[in-house]
Amino acid sequence: MTTRNLISRPIWLLGVVSLLTDAASEMLYPIAPLYLTGVLGASLLLVGCLEGVADGMSSLLKGYFGALSDRVGRRAPFVRAGYTLSALSKPLPGLWPAATAVVVGRLADRLGKGLRSAPRDALLASYAPVGAQGRIFGFHRSMDTAGAVLGPLVALAFLAARPGDYQTLFLLAFFPGLLAALCVWWVRDTPFQPAPTHRFAPLAVFAYWKASPPDYRRLVMALTVFGLVNSSDAFLMLKAKQAGFSEVAAIGGYVLYNAVYALAAYPAGDLADRLGKRSVLCWGLGLYAAVYVGFALLTQVWQAWACFALYGLYAAATEGVSKAWIADLTPPEQRGAAIGLQTMLASFSVVIASVMAGLLWETVHPVAPFWVAAAGALLALLWLRTTPSTPGALQ
């Protein structure tokens, strides 16, 4: 089957919406820690806590709304509401120049992400042809990450012309987000049999754990262990600045990471469909460990550029591939809960990882979080490699 036949109109539409939303978000994400610490005088501990709390709130909602979309038999309303809320959060720090506004805007953006993420991924999986989950999720990650390349490039160009004018940049980010919120109303549901009850059940996503396939549980446990050391990418940019990166170069490194990620995501998904998702995911975890060792040993600027490029390969081999693997392991009516539970547990782990990274940076040594992260990635890799699978399960 050709790529053209694989990528149907709904998949393209979800990709474009993600591209626009990520362009808006990534105009702001790389500069937010720089704005908080450099302009508003916030501490690195606050940066770590903000990222951890924002991801924690988002993760809880991913699990809940993923399971709820299974129960009501619809995905699109959650997708539309989530993208709209994220769009409305963008201009807040530009209208209210204070650390509180950055915090509120970041939390509102993550709230929108929590609303849409699991239902969107479940909807995306429903459009994928049999045997092509890796390529479909890889395509979506490519589109999403292309926005993560465009956003910081716009931010770089703007800050080059108007250095330090962060407030206006927050206002500009509203426009691509608004366009995405308008486009998402073209997204349509695919029919599936909903869960037998529609009652309000906040803990339904946790109940899914007992009913889930054993191979799903093994995969989720490994990814959660990894999440416990996978702190915010903000620490990579801050470490690069320590090694000699300028403020603009730090954002440029983040752009390079996303460019490599966008280019490699579809080929990585294709490899996962052909060679097995376990193998590609394990290679990705190995790359992550190598990158974090590189950042721990960072002494020169060129080394930081190389690490950012390899970091893009790690993301391409793990993020879309893990979701595609979960989609392979679960039936359509359970995918909202299955994807939501995994992302919820992983994101709760990131809360711990981000706060601990900030504490280790400030109280132990700036390289300490990177060594811990590398060790945790190798532990998750070993877990996936040595844990047996159920005979006949997709890998």
Give the mean pLDDT of 271-277. Answer: 91
Q: Which of 267, 354, 352, 245 is nearest to 315 (CA)?
A: 267
93 pLDDT band, cuts 50/70/90, is confident
* Rounded Cα distance, 283 and 314, in Å: 8
Query: pLDDT band at 120, cuts 50/70/90?
Result: very high
Q: How confident is the model at residue 206 (pLDDT cuts 50, 70, 90)?
A: confident
> Does 251 score more than 60 pLDDT?
yes
Quick check: 142 and 263 in contact, CB under 8 A? yes
What is the widest separation between alpha-carbon atoms in the chain? 60
CB atoms within 10 A of CB 12: 13
**What CATH superfamily classification does 3-186+210-386 receive?**
MFS general substrate transporter like domains (1.20.1250.20)
Q: Where are the alpha helices (DSSP H) in the chain?
A: 3-6, 9-28, 31-34, 44-72, 76-89, 92-95, 99-127, 133-161, 166-172, 174-183, 204-211, 214-227, 234-242, 247-275, 277-296, 301-329, 335-363, 368-386
pLDDT digits (tens, 9 = 90+) for 149-175: 888 788 878 888 888 777 788 888 889
Name the pLDDT band for 80 (thresholds 50, 70, 90): very high
**pLDDT exceeds 50 at position 207:** yes
pLDDT of amino acid 352: 84
Higher pLDDT, 40 or 300: 300
* Alpha-carbon gap, residue 369 to 353, rounded angstroms: 9
Least confident residue range of 34-48, 113-127, 142-156: 34-48
- pLDDT score at 310: 95
CB 225 within 8 A of CB 346: no
Picking from 84, 77, 85, 87, the residue whose alpha carbon sits closest to that of residue 23 is 87
CA distance 353 to 204: 26
User: How many Cβ atoms are within 10 Å of 198's Cβ, its own excluded?
Assistant: 11
3-state secondary structure of 350: helix
